[in-house]
Amino acid sequence: MFSIFAYIMKTVLIVDDNATSLAMAKEVLNGHYQTLTLSSAEKMFALFKKIKPDLILLDIEMPEMDGFTAIEKLKANENTVDIPVIFLTVHTDAEKESKGLELGAVDFVGKPFSSAVLLNRIANHLRIDEMIKKRTERIERLHQLRIDEAVKKRTERIERLQSGIVFTLANIAESGDKMTKGHIERTSLYVKILIDAMLAKGLYLDEMVEWDLNLVAASALLHDIGKFSIPSSILNKPAKLTPEEFAEMQQHVEEGELIIDQMIEKSGNALFLRHAKLFAGFHHERWDGKGYPREFKGEEIPLQGRIMAIVDVYDALISERPYKPVFSCEKAEEIILEGSGTLFDPKITDVFQDVKNAFAMVVKDYRSGS
């Protein structure tokens, strides 16, 4: 496949205090490489602030800073350490070559030089340098993939552990309420169904665009965690609650927030727990402002609370309670839709109407024990 990048010339920097040597080397390289010429090593280091050459031809014998000092400085800098350096010099005795190679030079070319030899040496070392860079990039990519995979597995283990702990906590809280068996698990499934449909419709997308659907649905498991603090005599009373008992039952909302606040204090302000706190604290608010405990109205109620309000009531309707029989899914759907604009956010209620059959499937599976 054609690529303009294959035709971009490499840049070679020639550093020599001899003007004749500079001119000769530049003439040989013209047409093969972009060439830059400098008369001192000091100027070379100033140039690096703007340009990084692909290879350097460096004289050894120069005033102020000789080639050996210059290459030591090059190799000590992380930005220039990987630039191949070829010494272009009249001094090619074994001792100087040994020292130059030890300092990091890749080759020596003696003056006067052959044009063909100089071009071949430069081409070979640029090719080797390219191969080394590609191999390094592959190794780094593989290393990063291994790191990413390890992080992914660790994250999955943490999420499984977190979900297991939360599910256990929620089940313990529910175990004190014999009237609501399976409620937390079903409501979590409803939440997932409803949010998925809201996202598909683009409803409240600005607010939910960064939500992790599984995380949010799992955090909904804690919406009734405050029932830990409610006496079992109230939770399991086989008759309608008195006004005083109902007022005490309402305390589970604020108690749930307090419990989750303690979890946040001990484990950090995790996004998971922030969602859980909003589900717990606002699922009994009403769209018309007549809910509890804060009597928030409309979109004053956090979105998590408006979502949970629908699924919580739906599950209460299809479940047996001391004050009511089990309602059919159709009757529960009818009551939810009648509450649009009073009990519930009308936009979310419209979405519920689209997924009511999916809610009914959850109920069917639970009742059949599957």
pLDDT for position 279: 96
Please check whether residues 123 and 182 belong to one and the same domain. Answer: no
In a shared domain, residues 341 and 205:
yes
**182 and 116 housed in the same domain:** no
Same domain, residue pair 215 and 73: no
Query: Mean per-residue pLDDT for 140-144?
Result: 77
Entry pTM: 0.57
Indicate whether 161 belongs to any domain. no
Average pLDDT across the chain, whole number? 85
Element (H, E) at 364: helix 346-368
Whether 106 maps to a domain, the answer reads yes
The confidence score (pLDDT) of residue 287 equals 98
Q: What mean pLDDT comes out for the span 336-343? A: 97
pLDDT at 351: 96
User: 152 in a domain, yes or no?
Assistant: no
Q: Which CATH number characterizes residue 347's domain?
A: 1.10.3210.10
Residues 6+ apart with CB under 8 A from 310: 190, 194, 336, 344, 345, 348, 349, 352
Q: Same structural domain for residues 212 and 360?
A: yes
CA distances from 231 to 79, 84, 166, 176, 228 (A): 68, 78, 22, 9, 8
- pLDDT, greater one: 269 or 94: 94
How many helices (H) and strands (E) the chain has is answered by: 14, 5
Domain that holds residue 314: 176-368
Residue 169: inside a domain, yes or no?
no
Query: Lowest-pLDDT range, 113-127, 159-173, 219-233, 320-334?
Result: 159-173
Asked whether residue 272 is assigned to any structural domain, the reply reads yes
The pLDDT of residue 165 is 60
Does 107 lie in the same domain as 20? Answer: yes
Q: Provide φ and ψ at 314, rounded to 5°.
A: -55, -45
Highest mean pLDDT among 2-6, 67-71, 86-90, 157-161: 67-71
pLDDT for 175 beyond 80: no
Estimate to the nearest angstrom the gap between the alpha carbon of 221 and the chain centroid: 24
- What pairing do the DSSP bridges indicate for beta strands 85-89 and 34-38? unpaired
Q: Is 28 in the same domain as 121? A: yes
Confidence band (pLDDT; 50, 70, 90) for 95? Answer: confident
Task: Say if residue 169's pLDDT is above 80.
Answer: no
73 and 182 assigned to the same domain? no
Residue 91 has what pLDDT? Answer: 67
Q: How far apart are CA 31 and CA 232, in angstroms?
A: 90
- 167 occurs within a structural domain: no
Does residue 220 sit in the same domain as residue 316? yes
Per mean pLDDT, which range of 137-141, 193-197, 208-212 is the poorest?
137-141
Quick one: pLDDT band at residue 295, thresholds 50, 70, 90? very high
Percent of the chain with pLDDT over 70: 88
69 CB-contact burial (10 Å; exposed 0-12 / middle 13-18 / buried 19+): middle
- Residue 237 reports pLDDT greater than 60: yes
Examine residue 155 and state whether it is found in any structural domain, yes or no.
Answer: no
Q: What is the pLDDT of residue 1?
A: 36
Report the candidate in 345, 366, 342, 348 with the shortest Cα–Cα distance to residue 187.
Answer: 366
Residues 336 and 216 in one domain: yes
State residue 170's pLDDT score: 59
pLDDT at position 3: 37
- Model pLDDT, residue 140: 78
**Average pLDDT rounded to a whole number, residues 210-232:** 87
Among 40-49, 144-153, 289-298, 349-358, whose mean pLDDT is lowest?
Answer: 144-153
Over residues 101-105, mean pLDDT: 88
- Give the model's pLDDT for residue 197: 95
Better-scored residue on pLDDT, 19 or 173:
19
Q: Are residues 136 and 249 in the same domain?
A: no
Number of domains the chain is built from = 2
Residue 316 domain-assigned (yes or no): yes
Q: In terms of domains, do 136 and 266 share one?
A: no
Going by pLDDT thresholds of 50, 70 and 90, the confidence category of residue 4 is very low
